[in-house]
Structures are given as C-alpha cells and as structure tokens.
Homo-oligomer: A and B are copies of this chain.
Amino acid sequence: MTAVLCVGVAVYDEIFALPAFPTRPTKIFASDFASAAGGPATNAAITIARQGGDAALWARIGNDMQGDRIVADLQRSKVDVSRVRRVEEARSGISAVGVTGDGERMLLVFADPNLDTDASWLPLDDIAAFDAVLADVRWPVASRAVLARARALGKPTVLDADLTSDPAALGALVPMASHVVFSEPALVQFAGEAGSVEERLRRVHDGGAHELVGVTMGDQGAFWVDGSGFHHEPAVSIRAVDTLAAGDVFHGAFALAVARGLPARDAMRFANVVAAVKCTRWGGGSTIPTAEEVDAFLARPPAALSPTKDFV
C-alpha cells in the first residue's frame, strides 16, 4: 500500500454555522456545530488514510482534552499516531471557526507558546519507508528536517504552501520541496504581485529545483507549471456547503496521488474531486470523504461533472 508521511500541525477545530458574521462584539447563535481534529497536515493525513493510503502524522499536541480528541479522530481514520508527541504543560492548538453559507470564515485561533517546537526527536531514518512526504508550514523546524531528509532519499516531497504568521517560514520551505502547491495569497506573498498567475508560478518553478509548482484557487480550480508548461484543472462543479479543510484535503489527496506515481494532471484531478466532495458536506475535517464516497460522487451522471480544460 502506498505510504505517505505528513508532518506539521495538529489542532482541534470547532465549527459554528452562523447566519452572518458579527461586525461588532455581540452574541451570535449558531444553527449547527461540529468539532474535529484539524490543521493542514492532520487533515491531509486523514484524507490519505480515508482514500486508501497508509498515512502517518508527525506532530505535537498538548496534554489536554483537545489533544485526546485529536488522537481519537486520527485513530478512527487509521492514521498512525505513534509519532504524535504530547507535550506536558502545553495546550493543544485550538480554532473556533465561524462559517456562513458563502464559504467565508472567521477564525479565533490559539497556539500555545509552550508547545515546544523542538523536532530533534523525529525519527528521520523512518522516512525511507514512505513513498512520499507532505509538509505544512505550521511547524517549520520539523518540515525543514523532514523535507531535507526526504529529498536526500529521492522521495517526492509535497509542500502545502500557505500563509503563516511567519513569512520567513514559507520562504525557507518552498525551495526544499519537489512539489509546491500554494494557496492564492501565499503565492502572492512568495512570488510577488507582479504579473499573472502563470508568471508567478513560472518565477517560482524556474527559480528552484521543482518538479511542479501549483496554486489552488477555490472554484477556479488548480493551476500549475511543470516541465511541460502551464496547466489548468478546473474545479469540480458542486454546491459548496462548507469549505473548511478543503485546501488541506486537496493537498492530502494530491500527495497520495503523487506517491502513487500518477501524472500531474491526474493527481490534480483526483485532488480536485476529493476536495469537492468534502465541500458538499458540513463539518470541516469531520467529513473528509472516504474512497467509497468519492466513487459514489463520481458515479453521478457525467453531465454533472465540469469539463477539464488545458491552457498549455
């Protein structure tokens, strides 16, 4: 079975379905609530496991109720949590996320400064057993160590290149990954405002030793540059009810496809579909689809699927 190592952050997400966002300090009643393990690497690992891959997560959490829940959610999806470290005297990361029907989000985020960032305990020799690595930018010291070893071993390395409170983290990690897939604002931050999406992607691709440099752009789909040029894979047409975790799911599915040796377009198409199915279901990371659920979605009448289009 294809095995993917995910390294990065594990948090606890609470999701409130709101009628509207507050614009001043007031009380807003939610029509629904869900909670689940979350964070980019965590959601990616759960996606990989639910899509039939072997997934392991290297992360750190607090020794608290939220940490218990993060581990339980990962185990329920059969993610290997033997290297999810519990840090004594620290609290797990937590996000309270307000979502409305239009896909916008308001997040209150707590990251405990006592959550030790040390990554020297990571068993880097174990990387040899994986087919690919996915890293996020939220625990940079660990992602750097893992990406460096994985590239030395010739493994595909996928970076979930999103914004953080520390722009330097993104800058240090991008050059280390064979496959870099940015969020739209992170691509602008890293590659600058100048030019088109294609020009930004080309600047990053041509500036480093990357197999592929891409960007996810929500309902516009994914764009990427690789050795054969600039490409576009449109998003799958769906009615989105909850876009929380959709980007993380995309990256997880993409990493699994890369680990399986799929060509770039097939990997992007697979990632688009898995992320789209996630968006049709309320509940953030608690409703990441299984392979069977994706198959059921794909068995819809073909007319309901949007066409692919290539900009090469």
Query: Are A16 and B107 in contact, with the CB atoms below 8 A?
Result: no
Most buried by B among A65, A69, A96, A109: A96
**The residue from B33, B69, B105, B110 contacting A91, defined by CB atoms under 8 A apart:** B33
Interface residue stretch chosen among A18-26, A173-181, A233-241: A18-26
Q: Nearest residue in B to A163 (C-beta to C-beta)?
A: B27
**The residue from B26, B33, B107, B165 contacting A110, defined by CB atoms under 8 A apart:** B33
* A32: interface (CB < 8 Å): yes
* A94: interface (CB < 8 Å): yes
Most buried by B among A22, A23, A109, A112: A22
Q: Nearest residue in B to A68 (C-beta to C-beta)?
A: B65
Query: Are A98 and B105 in contact, with the CB atoms below 8 A?
Result: no
Query: Are B14 and A109 in contact, with the CB atoms below 8 A?
Result: no
Chain B residues, Cβ within 8 Å of A91: 33
**The residue from B106, B110, B165 contacting A32, defined by CB atoms under 8 A apart:** B110
* A28: interface (CB < 8 Å): yes
Min CB–CB distance A222 → chain B (angstroms): 23
Q: Nearest residue in B to A108 (C-beta to C-beta)?
A: B16
Q: Nearest residue in B to A91 (C-beta to C-beta)?
A: B33
Chain B residues, Cβ within 8 Å of A32: 110
* A311: interface (CB < 8 Å): no
**The residue from B21, B30, B104, B111 contacting A29, defined by CB atoms under 8 A apart:** B111
Query: Are A26 and B96 in contact, with the CB atoms below 8 A?
Result: no
Q: A30-B109, A65-B65, A110-B32 are in contact. Are A104 and B16 (CB under 8 A)?
A: no
Q: Nearest residue in B to A107 (C-beta to C-beta)?
A: B27
Chain B residues, Cβ within 8 Å of A106: 22, 24-28
Instruction: Report Cα–Cα, A46/B59, bound state, in Å.
Output: 36
Q: Which of A3-47 contact B (CB under 8 A)?
A: 14, 16, 18, 21-30, 32-33, 35
Instruction: Report Cα–Cα, A104/B22, bound state, in Å.
Output: 13
Interface membership of chain A positions 95-129, coded 1 if the CB is closer than 8 angstroms to chain B and 0 otherwise: 01010100011111111100000000000000000
17 A-B pairs whose Cβ atoms sit less than 8 Å apart in the complex = A16-B108, A21-B24, A22-B22, A23-B24, A24-B106, A25-B104, A25-B106, A26-B107, A27-B105, A27-B106, A27-B109, A29-B109, A29-B110, A30-B109, A65-B69, A96-B96, A96-B108
